[in-house]
């Protein structure tokens, strides 16, 4: 251990968005919560559809003709992504809130005092990782579940109308969930509070809408983040929901709003 700081070998380079993205990639891949959450999300996305299709297939003989007619094979195929969104959302909150709870944020903002590149870097890295993992996961989930259902000729083909959009849409939905939860984590800065807020917005508020008069409920419900976002997962159009791409655009709007508020607060607040 020498007494004097080792002289620097490299040239003095400036902070760039690209470098911050690389740094955020190192940060994301080097903590355990990332691998656990993404592993859980992948397993849930693939496992639940297989399980659901196997159960449906086993009970197919007991189903009434009416039930068979109402059965939509896309539902079991994408059921996993509905559960995986919790794992993605929790990780999204943690990506930011853990920096605050551990004090890492001070080191991060000392290295990048303009701060916003850190938020954009996290958003890009986390959403890219989510999409890259979830796209194959939903494709595997779709083909595995449909091959199980094909025994009863109750399956869909990927080339059927709207099917490709719905399956790829599930991966897009989870990617936007990643951005939305990152925004919430950055606004709330506290892990427990961030996860609670995320869960409340996605899972608690929608059923609460039922207390509203039904005319208000049906008008407002479709614009809630979760309902708007899930429109893209539908193969047959449900009259109470927005059209797939409009719904998805509304959902993207929520995520963009969360990130915009996060960005404003990030620059203004003390650390």
Partner 1 sequence: MIEARDLTKDYGDKRAVDGLTFDVRPGIVTGFLGPNGSGKSTTMRLILGLDRPTKGHVTVNGKPYRDHAAPLHEVGALLEARSVHTGRSARNHLLALAQTHGISRKRVDELIDHVGLHDVSRKRAGKFSLGMGQRLGIATALLGDPHTVMLDEPVNGLDPEGIQWIRTLLKGLASEGRTVFVSSHLMSEMALTADHLIVIGRGRLIADASVTDFLAGASKPLVHVRSPQGEELREALQGPDVTVAVVEPGLFEVTGLTAAQVGEAAAAHGITLHELSPHQASLEEAFMDLTRGELEFAAS
Interface positions with partner 1 (CB under 8 A): 1-10, 12-16, 19-20, 22-24, 26-27, 30-33, 98-99, 102-114, 270-271
For 118, residues 6+ apart whose C-beta sits below 8 A from its C-beta are 20, 24, 108, 109, 112, 266
Q: Which is nearer to partner 1, 122 or 222 (by Cβ)?
A: 122
Q: Which is nearer to partner 1, 34 or 218 (by Cβ)?
A: 34
User: Minimum CB separation from partner 1 for residue 199, in Å?
Assistant: 23
Long-range contacts of 20-23 (CB under 8 A, 24+ apart): 20/112, 20/117, 20/118, 20/120, 20/121, 21/121, 21/124, 21/125, 23/111, 23/121
User: Minimum CB separation from partner 1 for residue 267, in Å?
Assistant: 10
- For residues 121 and 266, what is the distance between their CA atoms, to the nearest angstrom? 14
User: Minimum CB separation from partner 1 for residue 96, in Å?
Assistant: 12
User: Minimum CB separation from partner 1 for residue 17, in Å?
Assistant: 10
- For residues 18 and 22, what is the distance between their CA atoms, to the nearest angstrom? 6
């Amino acid at each position: 251990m020498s007494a004097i700081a080792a002289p620097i070998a490299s040239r003095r380079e400036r902070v760039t968005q690209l470098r911050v993205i690389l740094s955020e990639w190192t940060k994301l891949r080097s903590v355990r919560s990332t691998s656990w959450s993404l592993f859980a999300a992948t397993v849930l996305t693939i496992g639940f559809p297989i399980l659901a299709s196997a159960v449906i297939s086993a009970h197919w003989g007991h189903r009434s003709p009416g039930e068979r007619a109402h059965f939509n094979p896309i539902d079991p195929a994408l059921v996993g992504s509905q559960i995986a969104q919790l794992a993605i959302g929790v990780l999204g909150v943690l990506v930011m809130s853990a920096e605050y709870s551990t004090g890492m944020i001070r080191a991060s903002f000392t290295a990048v005092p303009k701060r916003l590149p850190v938020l954009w870097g996290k958003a890009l890295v986390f959403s890219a990782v989510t999409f890259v993992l979830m796209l194959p996961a939903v494709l595997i989930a779709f083909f595995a579940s449909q091959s199980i259902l094909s025994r009863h000729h109750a399956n869909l083909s990927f080339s059927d109308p709207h099917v490709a959009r719905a399956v790829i849409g599930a991966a897009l939905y989870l990617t936007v969930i990643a951005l939305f939860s990152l925004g919430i984590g950055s606004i709330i800065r506290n892990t427990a509070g961030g996860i609670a807020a995320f869960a409340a917005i996605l899972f608690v508020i929608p059923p609460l809408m039922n207390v509203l008069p039904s005319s208000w409920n049906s008008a407002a419900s479709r614009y809630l983040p979760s309902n708007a976002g899930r429109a893209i997962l539908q193969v047959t159009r449900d009259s109470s929901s927005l059209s797939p791409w409009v719904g998805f655009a509304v959902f993207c709007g929520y995520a963009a709003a969360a990130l915009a508020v996060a960005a404003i607060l990030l620059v203004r607040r003390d650390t």
